């Protein structure tokens, strides 16, 4: 058995050790706090308008990457909402702007599902940042689904010509794509 004197000594020793560790933690905390400095940056201004978003269930981006633009050169998509490019009834390649065979191109692959609504226009905005001193370019194209729903899912490849690797160094910083369904053919947001 442990005597009462031993219990008191153990209890006092525990209190002393616990107090010492607590003081050490407090002092260390003040030391760490003193080594960090937080400064306030400039005021941030914001503005804009919130728009609710929904995915287009029948139009999905399957993949994206960089590849050589093939021969024959893909047809250029329409840049006019009133005259969208009607998508082919089979897998086809298109170009955002005029393209050149064998140039390097950023591509996006889109899949049109069998549930696609017919004669529906999409506005697709491609934003590409290139160059050592970044230059950001946004190009908007308009496509329209076929007059009859496809019997099987169709994948379309859309290229953005980045230039010839033989004449220049190509620096691709970032890309983005935003597809939105128009309210009617020829009428887009």
DSSP secondary structure string, 126-139?
EEEEETTTTEEEEE
Structure tokens that stand for 42 in this block = 């400039």
165 inside domain? yes
pLDDT tens per residue, the chain (189 residues)? 555 555 555 555 655 555 555 555 554 454 444 444 445 556 666 666 666 667 899 999 999 999 999 999 999 999 999 999 999 999 999 999 999 999 999 999 999 999 999 999 999 999 999 998 999 999 999 999 999 999 999 999 999 999 998 887 899 999 999 999 999 999 887
152 inside domain? yes
In our burial notation (b when 16+ CB lie closer than 10 A, e otherwise), range 153-181 reads ebebbbbbbbeeeeeeeeeeeebebebbb
Closest among 155, 149, 74, 144 to 108, alpha carbons compared? 155
Closest among 113, 120, 112 to 183, alpha carbons compared? 120
| Same domain, residue pair 20 and 92 | no
Instruction: Please state the pTM of the whole predicted model.
Output: 0.72
49 inside domain? no
| Structural domain harbouring 110 | 59-181
| Same domain, residue pair 160 and 75 | yes
102: left (phi over 0), alpha (psi -120 to 50) or beta: left
| Same domain, residue pair 63 and 102 | yes
Q: How far is 120 from 122, CA to CA, in rounded Å?
A: 7
């Amino acid at each position: 058995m442990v005597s009462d004197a031993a219990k008191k000594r153990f209890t006092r020793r525990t209190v002393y050790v616990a107090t010492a560790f607590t003081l050490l933690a407090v002092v260390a905390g003040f030391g760490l706090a003193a080594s960090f400095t937080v400064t306030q940056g400039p005021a941030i201004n914001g503005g804009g308008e919130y728009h609710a978003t929904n995915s287009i269930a029948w139009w999905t981006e399957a993949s994206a990457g960089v590849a050589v633009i093939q021969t024959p050169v893909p047809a250029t998509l329409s840049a006019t909402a009133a005259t969208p490019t009607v998508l082919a009834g089979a897998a086809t390649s298109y170009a955002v702007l005029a393209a050149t065979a064998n140039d390097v191109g950023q591509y996006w692959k889109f899949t049109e599902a069998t549930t696609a609504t017919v004669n529906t226009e999409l506005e697709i905005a491609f934003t590409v940042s290139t160059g050592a001193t970044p230059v950001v370019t946004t190009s908007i194209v308009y496509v329209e689904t076929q007059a009859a729903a496809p019997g099987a899912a169709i994948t379309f490849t859309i290229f953005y010509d980045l230039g010839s690797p033989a004449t220049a160094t190509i620096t691709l910083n970032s890309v983005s794509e935003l597809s939105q369904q128009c309210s009617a053919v020829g009428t887009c947001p």
